[in-house]
Structure 1
């Protein structure tokens, strides 16, 4: 038996003056899933969440919840919980009352309110702050109370708009781990917007990449990294960003040659089957697919040697990011420890030719 998705977005578009914030977005969300909307600032993540919540009216398209067309419904008719970065806790109410507020508005019985608040506070490990005011909370405590206020009831799903962006790095890691645990344990449905690809990869069942108001790719988290649909997605997902450089393909169709910056790259028979038939391409290569060659290091099978000169250096403690110029094209990779290269230092690297990605130089699409 085929069931309707919990949430379905059909060709949603929204413009603000001359700015096309959303351009014919389609999305289906199943019950119990964790979907991440990933994209840079201005990609349309918040606008899409606001259209789902009923806080913005789309110019075109439909929003369906449990099969019901709700595009014209008011926010309070949709039974959705939304958590923003600003949290908006009641400053004059203690932790208990902040969490209890949705149930009090719904006129729930007192014993039910206490039971629900105690349950959520236990899950979020904030029992010790229930009698304190928000002004005494740490950033993480404020975030947990805001989550508790949303989770104390059971709406159709939760919309989370960059809820961790104001927290420091380690606290973000702790809370996203907590979010993932709670979502799985309770079987709730989360739609989580973030510009941080590491959050997306850590949290999501499915990632929807938004760029310029359009869906650039929709895929499981690891697939975004392994098989980006375009060079824009490829460079957005990963740090350091994927190298994307111009290249040429020459030779016979059965024995193609790949040229980068004037250097010929040796390809294995398996690699040759993946080479597109066009002459001019852009190739993508993750920094992790580039290995420094030192001294008498030999080139391993499946790797090709490339030589150039150092043109950038960024020490980062445990490792160093090194940039090299190869015939006018720049490649970036990382090496362990601290390096002290000078600009212009000759250097050789081995690239994993099985890890090459090919993109159309005009459209940017994956070939």
Structure 2
């Protein structure tokens, strides 16, 4: 049985329906990430789970208990905010212990719990400091410690890394990942950062305009996106979307003028009718130079295209190719010699391709 269940949840703010029939289930110890563009309803959903917003309709169930009408303090939930929300006049130790003190936990037991959490988060040397004496990353660890010490049923994280610089964001993200692996806590985490979603989650929910677009593991979301929105939103650089038309021979003619025809991807189980317009989706890493081709691939198509952009990243190079006005991004080896304006031979790994219906936007299964 699922530990956290959200059943047909709807939320109206004024005349605007912000959440439109959300259905999600999460197992005990799972790490659920809510991801989507600004205004999609992520934080509204998190606040509804926390009890900070009343529901218009639907149910929130935690460990078999419907919590719709419970006060936030009765839901046994801990929330970590992006603003840290630490008490400036208290030391780190006092901040972490505060919730236990309010519950009447004995002083010795509080001290033991704080010491254990401080050890887990590696902030033992900070316990006597005040928030003003801490860096952003240290404050976020303290905020996590204050939530962790309570041992709640569910942890809620509301974009906790958005105030950190890029390097620190990576470090604290790793700490959150380790925290989950070590404690097996049940976590719901809100972010607009797809990299955070992919690296942290056991399950991802992609939201758009208050509706669930897809629920799945990071691998499912990335490799088998349910629709064009998910395919475009998840991944950096984004998935290549190449317009084409199914040929009588069972291939796909690409790039508008039909200058290139590739075989039908092996992932498409049923033949599509000849003449049907489709969109072929390929991640940049599925378009490479010959030296990076997967030796186990069953379907490789070679396409020659003009190079219009070169972006070295150190470990590899992103190369933009263009045919008939349509562009795509490939991921090549760093040592590959390529120049602007040249015609380059790209290898398309069609084992990794997905096909979408341009009319509905859904993936063709």
Asked whether the two chains share a fold, i.e. TM above 0.5, the reply is yes
**1:13 match:** 10
1:185 is aligned to 2:182: yes
> Which of 125, 129, 132 is 1:128 aligned to?
125
Alignment of 1:1-367 (within 5 A): 3=1, 5-251=2-248, 255-261=249-255, 262-267=258-263, 270=266, 273=269, 275-277=271-273, 279-292=276-289, 302-337=299-334, 341-342=339-340, 344-367=341-364
- 1:273 is displaced (CA, Å) by 4.7
Paired residues of 2:5 and 2:62 also in contact (CA < 8 A): yes
**What SS class does the counterpart of residue 206 from structure 2 fall into?**
strand
Alpha-carbon separation, structure 2, partners of 1:220 and 1:101: 36
Alpha-carbon separation, structure 1, partners of 2:281 and 2:186: 35
Alpha-carbon separation, structure 2, partners of 1:241 and 1:269: 20
Alpha-carbon separation, structure 2, partners of 1:12 and 1:276: 37
Alpha-carbon separation, structure 2, partners of 1:301 and 1:65: 46
Alpha-carbon separation, structure 2, partners of 1:231 and 1:292: 26
**What SS class does the counterpart of residue 146 from structure 2 fall into?**
helix
**What SS class does the counterpart of residue 181 from structure 1 fall into?**
helix
**What SS class does the counterpart of residue 40 from structure 1 fall into?**
coil
Unaligned runs of 5+ in 2: 292-296
Runs of 4+ in 1 over 4 A off after TM superposition: 268-275
Which stretch shows the higher mean deviation, 114-123 or 170-179?
170-179
Alpha-carbon separation, structure 1, partners of 2:104 and 2:188: 27
CA RMSD of aligned residues (A): 2.2
Alpha-carbon separation, structure 2, partners of 1:117 and 1:269: 55
Count residues in correspondence: 355
**1:297 match:** none
Paired residues of 2:252 and 2:264 also in contact (CA < 8 A): no
- 1:270 is displaced (CA, Å) by 4.5
- Give CA deviations for 1:186-244 in whole Å, capped at 9, x if unaligned: 22211111122222222211111112111111111111111111111112221111001
- 1:366 is displaced (CA, Å) by 0.5
Paired residues of 1:256 and 1:272 also in contact (CA < 8 A): no
Alpha-carbon separation, structure 2, partners of 1:47 and 1:269: 39
- 1:80 is displaced (CA, Å) by 0.7
Give the structure-2-normalised TM-score: 0.91
Alpha-carbon separation, structure 2, partners of 1:270 and 1:80: 46
Unaligned runs of 5+ in 1: 295-299
Alpha-carbon separation, structure 1, partners of 2:14 and 2:114: 44
Give the structure-1-normalised TM-score: 0.90
